[in-house]
Amino acid sequence: MKIGVNNISLELHYGAKVKDAILKYYSQQGKKLPRPFPRIEDGYGNRVDPEGGLTDGNSLFIRSGDSKGTMLLQLLLILFLSGFLSACSSYRKAATIRGNERQAVIFAVNDMHATIDNFPKLAYITDSLRAIYPDMLLVGAGDNQTGNPVNDQYPERGLPMIELMNATGFDLSAVGNHEFDSSPEGFSNLISKADFDFICANMSADNPDDFKIEPWKIITLPNGLRLAFLGLVQINRNGIPDSHPEKLKGFTFRSPFEAARDYFWLREKSDIFIALTHIGFESDIKLAGIMSPVLDLIIGGHSHTRVEKEQIHNGIMITQADHKLNYGTLIRLSLKNDGSLERSMQLISIRKAKSENPAIRAMVDKYNDNPHLSEVIAWASDDFSSKEELGYLMADAQRDAAAADIAFVNPGGVRIRSLEKGPVRIMDIYQLDPFGNELIVTRLSGKEIHSLMLSAYPMDDRQPVFSSGIFTVLKPGAEGELSDVTLLTGSGSPLDMDKTYTVAMNSYMTQVYQYKHSDPGQSLFITTADALISYLKKNQNIKSYRNEKRYRIER
């Protein structure tokens, strides 16, 4: 897909994130990525997180530092939070001044990605807000799951997030692309244990009785206001959300924009019409253009956009609150006697809250005391005494997970230098591969693989990449640079330069290496660490890689 960074067009693999686009931008400019990671904004001045999702045609801009206005806003929000409980009576007094106007209040979060450690602060804030607004709704805009091994590797994958959302009092959740990561059976089980509803209008299940997901939901508040929520999830070029295709078997998806057109009638069934989406901020703007006659509000997710001030597009207010429970959006909707709707939003920092809900803290502490991460998933028959040996194991696993002809692992992607003979735990794998890079499959010709090898050598400080399914002969020049490389198959015959091969590698490599290729690649929407965990669980007995060499240097 094509993404613009500082008005420069870049070709990225499908499923790429913001960080991938920024890495590629700096790589093409011949510059190193600055530390700390630069501030990134979209074309509307909203800050976006490096882990945010992208869709074809998105625009990003690199900015230098936070503005004074943003810093002042955060200071005011901290002061606002600190005075919640003491200010309850004055807020109630202000509310009575509105006379017969009816008010709906919503606290919205998105892309929590299993950040369970911020739940005690979230619960404290929602408790404080409910003291002011007893009928406040708590909603999530999808991607509740995936991003924390404590939750993701729990015996019943994803259950800690569902139990914490239940205990915190969620009313509603959109379906995000990462809701499918626990497999259809796992997702069905999590839905059955949720005390809140999931909604999504542009998906259907082959067995709907197993998936209690409705396209929409109307919630009637005690004051009589009817709020209609319509759920929508992002769809990529393959017609499915950004998740591993195997996890999406049994589901059918269609364009969120086409689906939305079928629900204009919800306007007549409600006083306030809200889209609860997981399609990204720029797609929310497109949705606003389609639904401007009927829609009042879009609460969005997927792009990890931090909307700090009111964004009105085609007469519709659009909100989004960063990710990982760093922030939440407090939304006030007042329906006046003449039928007009007054809207306001306020971004509230969750991570900077000074207090916690003790009951939720106790739940989180119990989850974090997780012996499952010490689970033995395989047995090493020999010591791994070098990064090279571990890199070959990782490459073999990635090649297997992608069913690819060839796999490559960059030396910097191997983060431990040795692993002792004996039991291998889940935690060992997350120490070996901690980055969360996704596994990408690209179709490359022999010539393009040759180009990749020449690019990789200087990028990796003149170290060869670790490979599977291929043997390389490196020929350094007089100054130590790589003058040429010969590519051989596993049997020792020359690689066909005109043949196309499937090549697996991590998402970092696809963005940083500058080489000739026509296929930008496709993410499998699993991390390389999870690919290795699955490989070890399947094989269990790890062969010895002692003295294994998949390259040689000819001078």
Residues 6+ apart with CB under 8 A from 6: 25, 60, 61, 62
Segment 168-191, tens digit of pLDDT: 999 999 999 999 998 899 999 999
Dig out the tokens for 551 from the structure.
Answer: 């390259």
Range ranked top by mean pLDDT from 147-161, 252-266, 445-459: 252-266
Nearest CA to 529 out of 4, 149, 37 is that of 149
Q: What is the mean pLDDT of residues 44-56?
A: 94
User: Residue 71 and residue 310: Cα distance in Å, rounded?
Assistant: 17
Alpha-carbon distance of 322 to 303, in angstroms, equals 8
Alpha carbons within 13 A on the beta-carbon side of 106: 33
Across residues 484-495, what is the average pLDDT? 92
What average pLDDT does the segment 493-521 reach?
94
Residue 90 has pLDDT above 60, yes or no: no
Q: Cα–Cα distance between 197 and 175 in angstroms, integer?
A: 10
CA distance 232 to 418: 46
pLDDT band at 463 (very low <50, low <70, confident <90, very high): confident
Does residue 82 register a pLDDT over 50?
A: no
86 DSSP assignment: G
Q: What is the pLDDT of residue 99?
A: 54
Q: Give the pair of three-digit tokens for residue 139.
A: 């909603």
Residue 396 has pLDDT above 80, yes or no: yes
Dihedral Cα 193, 250, 147, 9, nearest 10 deg? -140
The residue type of 302 is: H
Tokens (6 digits) for 52: 């945010």
- Work out the average pLDDT over 31-59: 93
Residue 65 confidence (pLDDT): 59
Q: If DSSP codes are grouped into helix, strand and coil, which group holds residue 524? A: strand
The mean pLDDT of 386-396, rounded to a whole number, is 97
pLDDT-based confidence at residue 76 (cuts at 50, 70, 90): very low
Q: How far apart are CA 240 and CA 324, in angstroms?
A: 24
pLDDT digits (tens, 9 = 90+) for 97-143: 345 789 999 999 999 999 999 999 999 999 999 999 999 999 999 99
Q: How many residues appear in the chain?
A: 555
The first and second tokens of residue 126, run together, are: 């929602």
Peptide bond into 464 cis (omega under 30): no
Contact 351, 121 (CB under 8 A): yes
- Of 316-325, 394-403, 482-491, least confident by mean pLDDT is 482-491
- pLDDT confidence tier of residue 210, bands split at 50, 70 and 90: confident
The H-assigned helical ranges of 407-549 are 426-432, 446-459, 507-512, 528-539
pLDDT above 70 for 89: no
Confidence at residue 97, expressed as pLDDT on a 0 to 100 scale: 35
Task: Check whether 84 has a pLDDT greater than 60.
Answer: no
Q: Sheet holding 466-468: strands in order across?
A: 466-468, 406-409, 500-506, 438-445, 522-527
pLDDT in the model for residue 335: 97
Assess whether pLDDT exceeds 80 at residue 216: yes
User: pLDDT band at residue 67, thresholds of 50, 70 and 90?
Assistant: very low
The pLDDT of residue 458: 86
Tokens (6 digits) for 355? 């207090």
Q: How far apart are CA 260 and CA 226, in angstroms?
A: 19
